[in-house]
DNA sequence: CCTCCACAGGAAGCGCAGGAGT
DNA sequence: ACTCCTGCGCTTCCTGTGGAGG
């Protein structure tokens, strides 16, 4: 039985022409040749970095803009073009500072930098400044310019402070043959104010701002990409407009727009449609939403999951106007059942606030007069999400 | 008008882990 | 290898508060 139906599925797959021609072109990792609506920024970056062609040191650049505004894309595009001009002689080090366990401490970042020169360094044990020396020596062995791209640089500063940036910006004073230029990329603008003024000024000798895309700009981007990604005529009208509009509502995030389009295509294929329809976009949005919330709950610490389960149990019982105390009572029971340490109500209250921040619940402070002042907590999830999260939590807890 | 409920949410401090300095 | 030092999760203690009921 199972085999027959599987065969049918496979047959359906092979027999039909899928909607995708090249799905890769919709992923964030893909670098298109043409980047619409970023001509200004690319030109600006090009002008800032152009001195490398004359073997002079360009200014350090600080790039900021919200997620999905094309910062990393434009930076890597510009640098690649620049590198082509120099016949690949331009050395570029790209580091994403948000990668956990890779580059989230001073030591790890330095060992990353060193490994770019093909030298491996022990995971731990060496003093930090000997790593600096090593990096310095490796750097100075080469000629000309080295570009250091620090993506999500705000994460680095938040984690380890600005000392490392201070050291890196000063390194040029010592270097003889090479020059190091830092390209910092951040989606948080305010963090730069917390930095040491010296670091701030040397890091942002030049600044490039990436504004959010509006709906029509997003539409252009999607139109271009969809021609690469989909077979001709498989995207019905209105689909791209819908994806653009949804993503524009969320601070003009091109990544979200591309995700929506890609998942809509996947949904269409799975449902056996030969065309991507507007309804598929709705389903895609739901799926992305659910996946995201599920991912959040999965990565949440156990205590927080326990609190969420308490809220879910109360919801299933149909309790109206859930308040902190109710949740705490259920929470205690779940902890006992699961042999978990019972935290104080004060702490649980904070955990509820965290769930609120994630958008999983909505809580608002209300006063019930004689019957006290508390927070009214409501689940902020669709029915399908509740079931999926519940299924996950039921596996984790008794 | 006052009271008093059921908490909110700030402040201080504790114990721990893991990194930095030596 | 050894002490600091720092950040984090958490507890303890605290003061503050909107409004129903007296």
- In chain A, how many domains are there? 3
Q: With 80 as the cut, is the pLDDT of residue A142 above it?
A: no
Domain harbouring A344, CATH code: 1.10.10.10
Check whether A371 has a pLDDT greater than 80: yes
pLDDT score of A320 more than 90: no
> What is the total residue count of chain A?
398
In a domain, A335, yes or no: yes
Residue A374 lies in a domain: yes
User: Which position has the higher pLDDT, A42 or A145?
Assistant: A42
Q: Quick one: A8 and A66 in the same domain? A: no
Q: What are the pLDDT digits (tens) for A72-114?
A: 999 999 999 988 888 877 888 888 877 655 555 677 777 777 7
In a domain, A7, yes or no: yes
Residue A180 forms part of a structural domain: yes
CB A138 within 8 A of CB A81: no
Bases in strand B with any atom closer than 7 Å to a protein CB: 3-11, 19-22
pLDDT digits (tens, 9 = 90+) for A38-68: 999 999 999 999 998 888 889 999 998 888 8
Q: What are phi and psi of A247, to 5 degrees?
A: -75, -30
- Cβ of A341 near strand B (distance < 7 A): no
A362 CA from B6 C1′ (Å): 19
Smallest CA–C1' separation from A363, nucleotide: B8
Q: The domain that contains A104 carries what CATH number?
A: 3.40.50.300
Q: Are residues A218 and A332 in the same domain?
A: no
Nucleotides of C strand lying within 7 Å of any protein CB atom: 9-14, 16-21
Q: Using the CB atom, is residue A325 less than 7 Å from strand B? A: yes
Closest residue (CA) to C1' of nucleotide C19 is A369
Residues A178 and A117 in one domain: yes
Is the domain of A258 the same as that of A157? Answer: no
Give the distance from CA A352 to its chain's centroid. 24
Percent of chain A at pLDDT exceeding 90: 46
The reported pLDDT for the residue numbered A392 is: 94
- What is the rounded CA–CA span in Å between residue A327 and residue A350? 13
Distance CA A209, CA A71 (A): 9
Q: Integer distance in angstroms from CA A205 to C1' C16?
A: 48
Q: What are A271-296's pLDDT values in tens digits? A: 888 888 899 999 999 999 999 999 99
Q: Is the CB atom of residue A324 positioned under 7 angstroms from any atom of strand B?
A: yes
- CATH number for A234: 1.10.8.60
User: Residue A284: what pLDDT?
Assistant: 94
| Structural domain for A330, as ranges | 300-396
Closest CA to A67 of A241, A225, A183, A188: A188
Nucleic strand C near CB of residue A370 (< 7 Å):
yes
* Contact between the CB of A12 and strand C at under 7 Å: no
Task: Assess if residue A193 is contained within a domain.
Answer: yes
Is A343 part of any domain? Answer: yes
Non-local (6+) Cβ contacts of A246 within 8 A are: A256, A257, A260, A281, A285
Range from A2-16, A205-219, A243-257, A322-336 carrying the lowest mean pLDDT? A2-16
For residues A99 and A230, state if they share a domain. no
Last residue of a domain, one of A252, A271, A296: A296
pLDDT higher than threshold 60 for residue A12:
no
| Radius of gyration, alpha carbons of chain A | 26
Look over chain A and give the mean of its residue pLDDT values, rounded to a whole number.
86
A29, part of any domain:
no
> Of all nucleotides in the shown strands, which has a C1' nearest the CA of A370?
C20
Would you say the C-beta of A364 is within 7 Å of strand C?
Answer: no
Residue A30 lies in a domain: no
Residues A240, A163, single domain; the answer is: no
Q: Are residues A384 and A343 in the same domain?
A: yes
Distances (CA, A) of A146 to A56, A139, A170: 11, 8, 14
Higher per-residue pLDDT: A277 or A10: A277
What CA–CA distances, in Å, run from A249 to A211, A245, A256, A292, A326? 14, 6, 10, 18, 36
Asked if strand C contacts A347 at the CB level, meaning under 7 A, the answer is: yes
Choose the final residue of a domain: A210, A226, A257: A210
Mean pLDDT of A193-205: 76
Mean pLDDT over A223-249 rounds to: 90
Question: Are residues A368 and A357 both part of a single domain?
Answer: yes
pLDDT of A247 strictly over 90: yes
Do A312 and A265 fall within a single domain?
A: no
pLDDT of residue A133: 77
Of residues A180 and A126, which shows the higher confidence score? Answer: A180
Domain boundary among A164, A186, A210: A210
Confidence category of residue A11, pLDDT binned at 50, 70, 90: low
Same domain, A221 and A203: no
């Amino acid at each position: 039985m199972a085999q027959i139906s599987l065969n049918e599925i496979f047959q359906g797959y092979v027999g039909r022409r899928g909607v995708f021609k090249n799905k890769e072109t919709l992923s964030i990792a893909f670098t298109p040749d043409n980047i619409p609506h970023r001509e200004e920024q690319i030109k600006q970056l090009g002008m800032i970095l152009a001195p490398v062609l004359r073997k002079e040191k360009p200014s350090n650049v600080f790039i900021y803009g919200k997620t999905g505004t094309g910062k990393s894309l434009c930076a890597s595009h510009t640098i690649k073009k620049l590198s082509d001009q120099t016949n690949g002689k331009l050395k570029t080090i790209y580091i994403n500072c948000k990668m956990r366990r890779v580059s989230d401490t001073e030591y790890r970042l330095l060992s990353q930098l060193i490994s770019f020169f093909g030298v491996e360094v022990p995971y731990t044990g060496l003093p930090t400044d000997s790593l600096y020396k090593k990096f310095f020596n490796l750097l100075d062995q080469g000629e000309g310019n080295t570009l250091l791209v620090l993506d999500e640089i705000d994460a680095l500063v938040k984690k380890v402070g600005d000392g490392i940036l201070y050291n890196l910006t000063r390194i040029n004073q010592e270097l003889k043959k090479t020059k190091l230029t830092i390209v910092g990329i951040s989606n948080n603008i305010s963090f730069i104010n917390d930095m040491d003024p010296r670091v701030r000024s040397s890091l942002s000798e030049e600044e490039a701002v990436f504004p959010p895309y509006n709906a029509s700009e997003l539409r252009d981007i999607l139109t271009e990409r969809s021609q690469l990604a989909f077979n001709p005529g498989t995207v019905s009208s209105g689909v791209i407009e819908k994806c653009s509009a949804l993503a524009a509502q969320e601070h003009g995030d091109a990544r979200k727009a591309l995700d929506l389009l890609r998942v809509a295509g996947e949904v269409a294929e799975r449902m056996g449609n030969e065309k991507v329809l507007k309804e598929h976009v709705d389903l895609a949005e739901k799926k992305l939403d659910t996946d995201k919330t599920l991912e959040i709950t999965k990565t949440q610490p156990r205590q927080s999951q326990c609190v969420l389960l308490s809220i879910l149990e109360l919801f299933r019982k149909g309790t109206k106007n859930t308040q902190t105390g109710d949740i705490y009572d259920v929470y205690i029971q779940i902890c006992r059942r699961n042999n978990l340490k019972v935290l104080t109500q004060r702490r649980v209250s904070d955990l509820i606030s965290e769930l609120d921040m994630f958008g999983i619940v909505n809580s608002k402070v209300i006063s019930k007069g004689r019957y006290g002042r508390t927070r009214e907590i409501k689940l902020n999830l669709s029915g399908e999400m509740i079931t999926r999260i519940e299924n996950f939590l039921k596996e984790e807890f008794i």
